[in-house]
């Protein structure tokens, strides 16, 4: 049974484009040309998802979203994606406050739209509404509050733990496009293919990505960063959306290791991610950075539960306890990973991740506990939705 999508937009050209794009993917499409008609069709047709333009006659998109949220009741939640030509952060914040689940700026790439639709349908729609596609994978973005906190180490070893210890099909993406270290830390040469080979092809599809991925001895597949910094600029936010969309359809877990810059590409990763893991250590400069990161993420309108704090080297003596760090940040640290710096750096320098070669070490057991926790946390919402929808 195909998912029914309601398109509410007064531009006939946009209606035609969205209708064509969605029908090509197997969705059923119904169209409204003003806010009042959109609200009526939502009530009459019970769509699985609504695409809602901001500038509409009679009722604007914000008003329609707010009315849907007020009327649908606690037992139902139709995913809403707001469409707008405005780029200001205030527009996004207003949309999210009105009840939107996502926000897209026109013009947008069809692949990005489809990726966001699939993500929301996976989160909210009954399984039978997914047009026969398998459940989509979970995207974990690892973001370091500052350099040297061990973000790449945690991302690499978490990916290996999810695969080897928990049996998940995992792909690891080196999102530090200019100065990615995965080649070095995993003992791979410059001759291996990279994300540049994907984005410079005529089109991005699953077969192309499969040919570019590198299989590590641990069993984790790798999408490597460019071998030289100057080619990083070839990768755009639209490329990232299309790539992550394809990977979602093929993997249980997509682990993306990104650098500190909040540029368009990294913001697109954060937008798409199911969870953002902010990696930190307990020192003053890092705590300052974490507070800034949390404020910035808050301005972007992400729900608080999307962001998780990971304290690396948790038992290292810094003069700042976990309790004091939580007090300074005014929020709980979600995960802690023990300090074994010598073992971690030795594994990196040898190009042999400790979860692959020394999984039974103190550090390996701590990382496995972290992987189990994030796997359980990601599985819980899906199980709850299954129960709510009557599936067992």
pLDDT digits (tens, 9 = 90+) for 104-152: 888 888 878 888 888 788 777 554 444 434 457 899 999 998 888 989 9
Assigned CATH topology for domain 4-129 = Rossmann fold (3.40.50)
pLDDT tens-digit map of 178-221: 999 899 889 888 889 999 999 999 988 889 999 999 999 889 99
pLDDT, position 277: 97
CA Rg value for the chain: 22
Tell me what the mean pLDDT of segment 293-322 comes to.
85
Burial 51-81 (b: 16+ CB within 10 A, else e): bbbbebeebbbbebbbbbeeeeeeeebbbbb
The lowest-confidence range among 140-149, 181-190, 341-350, 353-362 is 341-350
Query: Which CATH number applies to 138-379?
Result: 3.40.50.300
Q: β-pairing, 138-144 with 275-280?
A: parallel
pLDDT tens-digit map of 286-298: 999 999 989 888 8
Return d(Cα 66, Cα 43) in angstroms, integer.
14
Parse the chain into domains and list their residue ranges: 4-129, 138-379
């Amino acid at each position: 049974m195909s998912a029914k999508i309601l398109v509410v937009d007064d531009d006939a050209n946009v209606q035609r484009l969205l209708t064509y794009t969605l029908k090509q993917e197997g969705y059923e499409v119904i169209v409204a040309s003003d806010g009042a008609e959109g609200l009526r069709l939502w009530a009459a047709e019970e769509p699985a998802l609504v695409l809602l333009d901001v500038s509409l006659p009679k009722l604007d998109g914000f008003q329609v979203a707010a009315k849907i949220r007020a009327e649908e009741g606690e037992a139902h939640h139709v995913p809403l994606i707001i469409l707008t030509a405005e780029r200001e952060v205030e527009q996004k914040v207003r949309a999210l406050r009105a009840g939107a689940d996502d926000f897209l700026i026109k013009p947008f790439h069809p692949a990005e739209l489809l990726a966001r639709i699939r993500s929301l349908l996976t989160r909210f729609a009954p399984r039978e509404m997914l047009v026969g596609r398998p459940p989509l994978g979970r995207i974990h973005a690892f973001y370091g509050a500052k350099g040297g906190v061990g973000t790449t180490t945690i991302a690499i070893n978490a990916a290996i733990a999810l695969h080897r210890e928990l049996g998940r099909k995992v792909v690891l993406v080196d999102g530090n496009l200019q100065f990615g270290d995965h080649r070095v830390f995993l003992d791979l040469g410059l001759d291996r293919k990279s994300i540049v080979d994907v984005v410079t092809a005529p089109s991005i599809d699953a077969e192309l990505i499969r040919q570019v991925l590198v299989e590590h001895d641990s069993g984790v597949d790798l999408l490597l960063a460019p071998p030289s910094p100057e080619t990083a600029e070839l990768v755009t936010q639209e490329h990232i959306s299309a790539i992550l969309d394809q990977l979602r359809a093929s993997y249980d877990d997509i682990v993306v290791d990104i650098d500190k810059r909040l540029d368009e590409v990294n913001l697109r990763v954060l937008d798409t991610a199911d969870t953002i893991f902010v990696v930190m250590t307990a020192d003053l400069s890092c705590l300052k950075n974490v507070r800034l990161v949390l404020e910035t993420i808050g301005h972007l309108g992400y729900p608080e539960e999307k962001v998780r704090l990971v304290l690396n080297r948790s038992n290292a003596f810094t003069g700042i306890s976990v309790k004091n760090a939580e007090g300074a940040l005014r929020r709980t640290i979600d995960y802690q990973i023990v300090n074994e710096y010598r073992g971690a750096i030795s594994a990196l320098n040898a190009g042999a991740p400790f979860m692959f070669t020394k999984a039974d070490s103190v550090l390996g057991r701590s990382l496995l506990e972290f992987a189990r926790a994030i796997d359980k946390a990601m599985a819980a919402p899906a199980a709850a939705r299954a129960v709510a929808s009557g599936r067992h």
